[in-house]
Structure 1
Amino acid sequence: MRSLNIIGAGRVGMTLGHLFVRYEVFNILQILNTQKDRSLMASAFITQGEAITDLHFLKPADVTMLCVPDDAFGSVVDSLIEVNALKRDSILFHCSGAKSSQDLITQNPALLALNLEVASVHPVRSFAEPRIAAEVFKDTICSVEGSDLAQTVLTAAFEKIGAKIIRITAEHKLLYHAGSVFASNYLVTLMDTAIAAYRAAGIDADTASQMAHSLALGSLNNVFKIGTSAALTGPIKRGDMQTVVKQAAQVSAWDQNQGQLYQAFIQPTLNLAKRSTPSE
């Protein structure tokens, strides 16, 4: 069984590490977080791996998994190389949705001298709560790209913990990730805006949340049952553009930023409406 080091065991690292141990995919060697309590918490949840906070104590493993913020990749990998924490000919992969395996090499050309197999694996799932994420991880779609050997090893590893693997290319990584941002991050922002609009109209917080919940779930269910075009409802679908114009002005009067958001959705929704079945 290959050994694995986890660098930055936050919610994603904890979830994956736990699953790798549960399904006997990797032997977790060490878990590195900058804060001792977080390393100890991650080690306890994963149920394996020495909790450390200092790169100088990191022992090279067969596989190294980076779960650090995108902007920290360059400096973290530089430090790993500096303290000889990367084994020659080993596998180095990260779990970023936006960055590709080539970004690791571009930022850290010294990796080439180590002949590392590099890759990225991005699980398309929310990891807000690791314990829940671990229990529902089965059938999670994970995108993989990188060197052939790294993809082969990591595909087998992630399939063993229940993932469904898709292959993508490095050059499409940012656009691919934008889809995830729209489907998850911006959806949350949109729900926050909807609830805020209800509240500004005088509706209490609990009722506002219930209203947004009902509409959002109904719309999402329809999207995945009958498709986006058929699922579209509302004034733009009906052709009530006078309502849309007046509503846009009202939203802007309430909050300029939210007014810009409302305005930004008008043209894309018009385009979608043109693909929809005309309302009767």
Structure 2
Amino acid sequence: MRELDRNAADTRVSEPARGGRLAVGVVGPGRAGRALAAALRAAGYEVDGPVGRGRQPGGDAVLLCVPDSEIGSAAATVAGTARFVGHVSGATPLAALEPSGGEAFGLHPLQTLTGEETDLSGCGCAIAGSTSEALELARRLALDLGTNPVEIDDERRAAYHAAASIASNFLVTLEAAAERVAGGAGIGPEEARRLLGPLVRTTVDNWLRLGPAGALTGPVARGDEGTVAAQRAAVAEVAPEALDLFDQLVAGTKALVDQRA
């Protein structure tokens, strides 16, 4: 994994646009396609799309914003339309783009997308390229979108994407479990979010500033076995389906405490 220099420049990829930014065709009218098309336009790019699979997009580069399982077939449908063809998958290798016949690149903004975003500033972005020019294109797109590009090799994409899922998707799963347990205390879901939200934000901020060891607090970190046992009994009573998760999290937190010691 390599964070790329924002000051690096390679003008070769700008040649098709003759002094301007490349035109980009976006395939896929879902949330990712809509968000990236809007963000690229806001960054000054000429964008065709997002278009459905029934129409070939125009542009110097084509960006496939389709489900991972459809990348190969979508790549085949745009064969010969552009020098550069990319996807926005965090986990799929560039080899999936081979049917396009183009120079392949990957551009994966590390952000949840609703389809309405035009500003991706500050988020991470995994990039890759099958050639130096394709990699430079991915880097340029990432920087122009205001993101922080990090090069991720195909061999490491699955681990990178798993880390992203743990940090983002599984956090939602964890908070959903907290909502269910809060229900056992007579706290409804909306009230639970109002109550727990500031705690979650502060915890994440502390993790960002201090790292896991410095951010860790609570009864497990203090070695308060009695409180942990009382919590476990409450979870078993009000949300038994969350008990295995609770036990695994306690074990993982104890391991983190041991590392800190």
Q: If the TM-score is normalised by the length of the shorter chain, which range does it land in?
A: 0.7 to 0.9
Q: Give the alignment partner of residue 247 of structure 2, picking from 239, 263, 270.
A: 263
Mapped to 1, the partners of 2:250 and 2:95 lie a distance apart of 37
Relative contact order: is structure 1 or structure 2 higher (C-alpha 8 Å, sep ≥ 6)? 2
Which whole-Å deviations, capped at 9, do the CAs of 1:192-243 have from their partners, x for residues lacking one?
1112211122123443222211221121121122221111111211112344
Mapped to 1, the partners of 2:59 and 2:190 lie a distance apart of 50
User: Are 1:144 and 2:163 matched, yes or no?
Assistant: no
Q: Supply the AA of the counterpart residue of 1:186.
A: F
What SS does the aligned partner of 1:227 have?
A: helix
1:59/1:270 CA distance change after superposition, 3 Å: closer
Gaps of 5+ in 2: 1-16
- The two structures, once aligned, show a CA RMSD in angstroms of 2.2
Which residue does the alignment assign to 2:50?
31
1:73/1:234 CA distance change after superposition, 3 Å: same
Mapped to 2, the partners of 1:245 and 1:103 lie a distance apart of 49
Q: Supply the AA of the counterpart residue of 1:125.
A: Q
Which whole-Å deviations, capped at 9, do the CAs of 1:63-116 have from their partners, x for residues lacking one?
1111111122233334x0xxxx322671111111121213434xxxx44xx3x1
Which residue does the alignment assign to 2:168?
184
Aligned residues with identical type, % of pairs: 26
What SS does the aligned partner of 2:118 have?
A: helix
Which residue does the alignment assign to 1:102?
95
Which residue does the alignment assign to 1:157?
141
User: Are 1:247 and 2:231 matched, yes or no?
Assistant: yes
Q: Supply the AA of the counterpart residue of 1:77.
A: A
TM-score (norm 2): 0.82
- The 8 Å contact of residues 23 and 160 in structure 1, kept in 2 or not, is answered as yes
How far residue 175 of structure 1 moved from its aligned partner, in angstroms, is 0.5
What SS does the aligned partner of 1:201 have?
A: coil
Mapped to 1, the partners of 2:176 and 2:202 lie a distance apart of 17
Which residue does the alignment assign to 2:3?
none
Which residue does the alignment assign to 1:93?
86
Which residue does the alignment assign to 2:66?
68
Q: Give the alignment partner of residue 235 of structure 1, picking from 201, 204, 219.
A: 219
Mapped to 1, the partners of 2:33 and 2:154 lie a distance apart of 22
- The 8 Å contact of residues 42 and 118 in structure 2, kept in 1 or not, is answered as no
How far residue 174 of structure 1 moved from its aligned partner, in angstroms, is 0.8
Which whole-Å deviations, capped at 9, do the CAs of 1:155-177 have from their partners, x for residues lacking one?
11221221221111110001001
Q: Supply the AA of the counterpart residue of 2:87.
A: H
Q: Give the alignment partner of residue 7 of structure 1, picking from 27, 33, 42.
A: 27
User: Are 1:127 and 2:113 matched, yes or no?
Assistant: yes
Which residue does the alignment assign to 1:58?
56
Q: Give the alignment partner of residue 118 of structure 1, picking from 94, 104, 109.
A: 104
> Greater shift after overlay, 238-247 or 222-231?
238-247
Mapped to 1, the partners of 2:97 and 2:133 lie a distance apart of 16
Q: Give the alignment partner of residue 272 of structure 1, picking from 238, 256, 260.
A: 256
How far residue 59 of structure 1 moved from its aligned partner, in angstroms, is 5.0
Mapped to 2, the partners of 1:104 and 1:237 lie a distance apart of 47
Which whole-Å deviations, capped at 9, do the CAs of 1:18-52 have from their partners, x for residues lacking one?
22223323x2234323xxxxxxxxxxxxxxxxxxx
Which residue does the alignment assign to 2:42?
22
What SS does the aligned partner of 2:48 have?
A: strand
Q: Supply the AA of the counterpart residue of 2:124.
A: I
- The 8 Å contact of residues 27 and 63 in structure 2, kept in 1 or not, is answered as yes
Q: Supply the AA of the counterpart residue of 2:26.
A: I
Mapped to 1, the partners of 2:109 and 2:211 lie a distance apart of 24
How far residue 249 of structure 1 moved from its aligned partner, in angstroms, is 4.3
Mapped to 1, the partners of 2:41 and 2:206 lie a distance apart of 38
